[in-house]
A and B are shown apart, each in its own frame.
Chain A
Amino acid sequence: MKVELVNLTKRWGNVVGADHITLEIEHGEFVAFLGPSGCGKTTTLLMIAGIYKPTEGLIKFDGKVVNHLAPKDRNIGMVFQSYALYPHMNVLQNIGYPLKLKGVPKQEIRKRVQQVANMMGIGHLLDRKPAQLSGGQQQRVALGRALVKQPDLLLFDEPLSNLDARLRLSMRSEIKRLQLELGITSIYVTHDQVEAMTMADRIAVMKDGKLQAYCPPDELYDRPRTLFIAGFVGNPPMNFINVEVVQEDGEYHARAEGFDLVVPSERGEKAAGRGRVIMGVRPEDVCLADDGIPGEIYVVEPLGRDDLLNVRIGEASIHVLADPTLNLRIGDTVRLRFNTHKVQFFDPQTENSLLWTD
């Protein structure tokens, strides 16, 4: 099913939950809503589910406006962060509940529940109550309940955030595989960018109720349209340095105190002559090299495979990944080389990208 949101807005008095959100989701697409806590992801999801009435704007399924359709008439499956398994029903009754409401005969319900439960690997737990299940098992029951009625649209509200790291990893790929197999249009709310990047076909980044960007993961990563996206996507986050870009002898230089970097002209020319701008560069695009710019190590954070260094060059503080065997210490001087083909420039006032805004 194709989903369209047009200027979708939700307000409670002065509180804005979602602010003029416009986007389209193609049939069978897997879209992630990504954003920090309180940015309106759940609000938007609940409007799509029909639980909240939009203050303004339209929700369209396959071109038809469904604003006034009750949740039960939307044929949606939803997985909640809390799982919301009915505590007084066993697994069979929980998964079978949507079918029971549709008036499916008992025998048929049993059969279909068993089928879904087997697919989820919980076929042997049908007579358990939710309180008698582990977190991972509850998660599967919730997923089964969302899938059993063969919905046109699947909604996930941070479904993995209550699981331990290992289980989260395996559930992540399991959900992705299921979605691909079944081809059901899905919206997946998360504040975990790794989840969003690895699972989604397209990511909608939200902040303060507003849609910041809506594009495929790699574009989000390589061509961030705002300072917020650049800082929010990527781990460890992008470094930001205040620079001035000037043209000299046909070359573009990004300059700051103790810092002079030649940048490619197709990027440099868009930032030149604007006074102070913000240059962004990801930690993986910086490396230690003998011919680099010198700086002093301020903090060393061992991450296991790498050490995360915080290096000061003049006013700027830059995160770099380094080989732990180098045994670098606080106070050591290192030289940094920047992959200038990946640098970003942002306007400090509007916080928009100088490279990717049309």
Chain B
Amino acid sequence: MSIAVAGDTTAARRKWDWARVRATLGAWGFLAPAAILVTVFFFIPVIILFVISLTDLSSSNFSEPLHFVWIENYARLFRDRFFPKILLNTVRYVILTLGFFNVGMALVLALLTTHINRRAGFFFRMIWLLPRITPSVVYILMWRRIAHQPPFGILNQLLAPFGVEPRYWLFEQPWLFVILVNGFVGASFGMIIFTSAIESIPRDYIMAAKVDGASTWQVIRDIILPLIRWPLLFVTTYQSLSLLTSFEYILLLTEGGPGLYTTEVWALTAYKRALKTYFGHNQWGYGAAWGFILVLIGLILSIIYLRVFRFNELVEEPKIDVL
């Protein structure tokens, strides 16, 4: 049935409407559970967040009626002396952790553990899961012991035989440890996804490529990586968005320091402004402005990812005809 055009009889139009209504109802029926979840737990909170970000709501005036300051919070945010630093830190944190660990190391681990003996591969993957199942406070405590100042510090003791001067590693290389700490946890997620994706590639493809003359590296480059493109897209998207909004390990490890804003990232700033200030003065409105911009960045990033990875190309229509 084609789209109704001017001149159609009313009877035909009514029939057309019926089919359309039923199809639409069916579609909404299937969409409803997910739509309700997304609305209640994402759209509504985001709208509330946005409304709060337009007010000067804080712990000193929360019993009074909302007082709208409109874009003042945003203006203040962009005028902040440390705004460029925090932005840069966030970009650095996400890109380095993602590149070296959450996708890079995850891929290396998945490839390695699927190319060795099965049992050994399983064992290695288990080891990489340990950081994720360790409570974050315990995990960070461990890292702080490792990178502690002299005369303590496990790293200092390990490196001493090689003639390395003992030093306060965490203080001197805060970024190195921020990325290591997050990366060791983050790598296991991608590792598991990539491992199962690689193992589900039919063995025939890999055998065929070898017979065709491919070395192990060429098999990985030409066959395995293209065939796990979708999991790669998924992990990159998911992990960069979750890194963007994560701050607990940084909070526990460096609190954004040492010094002024050395390792402070966007989500940590939002947290501090809204919920944790030195004098107990929580600026909910101002913190919400930081938070809302983070949501916007996340949305824009998702759209870019879908474009760059050409998501719609993954779904192709077959054109089978008989020989």
Contacts and interface: CB of A to CB of B under 8 A. Distances in A.
B318 A98 contact: no
Given A88-B226, A88-B227, A97-B222, A167 B211 contact: no
Interface string B66-102: 0000000000000000000000000000000000000
A264 interface: no
Interface in A113-132: 128-129, 131-132
B323 A167 contact: yes
Contact of A49 (B205, B207, B320, B321): B207
Contacts of A102: 213
Contacts of A78: 207-208, 211
**Secondary structure type dominating chain B contacts:** helix
B212 interface: yes
Interface string A198-224: 000000000000000000000000000
Contact of B227 (A49, A87, A137): A87
Contact of B204 (A84, A131, A155, A167): A84
Contacts of B226: 88
A61 interface: no
Nearest to A82: B204
Contacts of B127: none
Interface string B305-323: 0000000000010111111
Contact of B208 (A70, A80, A129): A80
Nearest to A132: B319
A66 to B, nearest CB: 14
B215 interface: yes
B320 A134 contact: yes
A145 B222 CA distance: 16
A97 B212 contact: yes
B210 interface: yes
Contacts of A84: 202, 204-205, 207-208
B39 interface: no
Contacts of B211: 49-51, 71-72, 76-78, 155
B210 A98 contact: no
A87 B323 CA distance: 19
A298 interface: no
B218 interface: yes
A51 B316 CA distance: 32
A101 B318 contact: no
Interface in A132-155: 132-134, 136-137, 145, 149, 155
A72 B215 contact: yes
Contacts of B323: 134, 136-137, 167
B214 interface: yes
